[in-house]
Amino acid sequence: MSASQKLDRAGVPSGAGSPDSGGRVRAALTLGSVLLGYLIVPMAMSGTSVALPRIAADLGGSGGALQWVVTGYFLAASCLMLVAGSLGDLFGRRRIFAVGAVLYVASTAAAAFAPHILVLDAARTLSGVGAAGVMAGGGAILGSSFEGPARTRAFAMVGTTVGVGLAFGPTFAGWLVSALDWRAMFGAFAGVGLLLVVGTLFLKESAAEHRPRFDLPGTIAFVLGIIGLMYGTNQVASAGWTSPRVLGFLGAGALMLVVFVALERRAEHPVLDLALLRGGPFTGWLLAALTTAVGTVGVLVYLPTYLQGAGDFSAGDAGTLMLAMTLPVLAVPPLAGKLVNQGVSARLLITLAVALIAAGNAWMTVLAPGSGAVQLIGPLLLIGVGNGLAAALIDAQAMEHVAPDRIGMASGLLNTARGGANALVLAVFGAALISLMQSEVGGREQAGRVAAGDLGGESHAFLAAQYTDAWHLVLWTVAGLCALSGLAVNRLVAGTAAGTDKG
């Protein structure tokens, strides 16, 4: 199927013949293959941290070397999604998806047999490179293969699938690690990945009509800039905002992104067409993706630690409560897709989604050491429903405003924005908690232990109070940022067409 050959409203390729022809089968295979990629990549992203204690005991890794098992995967995927998407436009979206799938399977299998922590780190970083190809290539394949209501339904299913992967990755990984070992976990991810490789054989190729020269200088500048910003931010929790190491990496990253923008303005065929970011509807949907990360990731990752450290929750109870936030991401996207296809304004729905996330963070300030599920389930549900609405809408609506030869670039940019924002929010959220507590609890080291859930000793009540105050300030800040961003999103997407949103 060429880049211009779309699927009709029923999801059948134009000109494919009757609904019972091979076109419908190929459409189902295309969707199934891409969804499998969007399942296993997030599972490997969220589930691997469960295995870190076993990996440390087996390979003897600790500190930065151990953490790189997770960080290397995340960093490589985040940095390279934009590059992978642009490469798909140039050389074929199916080709990039397939190369990413093969690299993901091979490197994940290598991780299962890694004899040393550094070998495992290298394998996981290569897995992140493969994941970038799968995520960016998969989104581009759907964007170039589906249109109208069929596209909305497809991306709603993507939102649900990603939610399943993120929500149940730790459970699946934890079961494998407990029943077998951490090597079996990586082996299982690689085994499922083989199905993804087989699925690529049934995909049709699509690419931009013209194959320009690849923008190597822009690519290098972009990757170095993202690495500098992400690595520098990840050092804040341990070193502080004024550390020369932190400032050096942040400054270098910002400088490289300035260089990147300058290069892209002059490039005949840039890796990122800056016209996508000039205040139109696509910019609004990109901002919505960033806002969703800001409003959800901190609570999702750090709240269970608070509940166990400052509260009376066990690990199991905390995990069960968090289902109130994750389950809506599974149930809401299909409903949101159906509403848009029935003519409900996507602009209205994304504004509602961001408002729910902002309200959920504000409501979460009821958080206290004695809080139980009754007090917290409401705000968690609001954030989860808002996240589910956004997951169903953003990619499908954003693709409506991208030229066919830039679909891969747009998919890569959206996934880069999400991945980078998730990583940065995780680092900044944790660093903010530590910074707000350090002057009250006796220094940065003690604040770090409190933020990690270690509130033991006679001063438990005092530490819990300081921890809670820090949480409240961060939550109000997040709520305010989301509310302001929601106003900007509403204005920017005003040109989006309804149903596809004419709003």
Q: The domain spanning residue 88 has which CATH number?
A: 1.20.1250.20
Q: Is residue 193 part of a domain?
A: yes
Tens digit of pLDDT at every position of the chain (503 positions):
333 333 333 333 333 333 445 567 767 777 777 888 888 887 777 667 667 667 777 776 555 566 677 777 877 787 777 777 777 667 777 888 888 889 999 999 998 898 888 888 888 888 888 888 888 777 777 776 776 677 767 777 776 777 677 667 766 777 777 778 888 888 888 888 888 888 777 777 665 556 566 777 877 888 888 788 877 877 776 677 778 888 888 899 889 889 988 887 887 777 677 777 776 788 888 899 889 988 988 887 778 778 877 777 776 677 778 788 878 877 788 788 788 878 888 889 999 999 999 999 999 999 988 888 888 999 999 999 998 888 878 877 887 777 766 766 777 777 777 777 777 787 788 788 888 888 777 777 777 777 767 777 667 788 888 889 999 999 999 999 999 999 999 998 886 544 444 33
pLDDT at 279: 67
Would you state the pLDDT for residue 229?
81
Residue 258 to residues 221, 226, 455, Cα–Cα distance (Å): 9, 11, 43
Task: Return the sign of the alpha-carbon dihedral for residues 454, 460, 462, 468.
Answer: positive
Judge if 409 and 452 occupy the same domain.
Answer: yes
pLDDT of 70: 72
The per-residue pLDDT for 211 is 59
Structural domain includes residue 162? yes
Q: Are residues 258 and 281 in the same domain?
A: no
Residue with tokens 């919505």: 288
**Which residues of 102-141 form beta strands (DSSP E)?**
none
Type of residue found at 165: G
470 within 8 A of 433, measured Cβ to Cβ = yes
Q: How far is the C-alpha of 477 from the C-alpha of 295, rounded, in Å? A: 10
Q: Phi, psi at residue 18, to the nearest 5°?
A: -75, 160
DSSP-assigned states of every residue in 305-357: HHHHHTSS--HHHHHHHHHHHHHHHHHHHHHHHHHHHTT--HHHHHHHHHHHH
Does residue 334 sit in the same domain as residue 226?
A: no
Kindly state whether residues 39 and 133 are assigned to the same domain. yes
Q: Are residues 82 and 226 in the same domain?
A: no
- Residue 269 CB neighbour total at 10 angstroms: 16
Report angle CA 164, 47, 76 to the nearest 5 degrees.
Answer: 100
Q: Are residues 145 and 231 in the same domain?
A: no
User: What is the C-alpha to C-alpha distance for residues 207 and 323, in angstroms, rounded to an integer?
Assistant: 40
CA distance 144 to 438: 51
Host domain of residue 41: 1-10+21-204
254, 381: one domain: no
Task: Note whether 122 and 242 are same-domain residues.
Answer: no
Query: Is-above-0.85 flag for pTM?
Result: no
Same-domain status, 4 and 66: yes
- Closest by CA position to 288, among listed 485, 495, 422: 485
Helix (H) or strand (E) run with residue 3 in it: none
Q: How far apart are alpha carbons 102 and 403 in whole angstroms?
A: 29
497 secondary structure, DSSP code:
P
Number of domains in the chain: 3
Q: Are residues 178 and 288 in the same domain?
A: no
Residues 287 and 364 in one domain: yes
| Contact (Cβ atoms closer than 8 angstroms) between residue 280 and residue 495 | yes
The span from the CA of 215 to the CA of 269, in Å, is 7
Is residue 273 within 8 A of residue 402, CB to CB? The reply is no
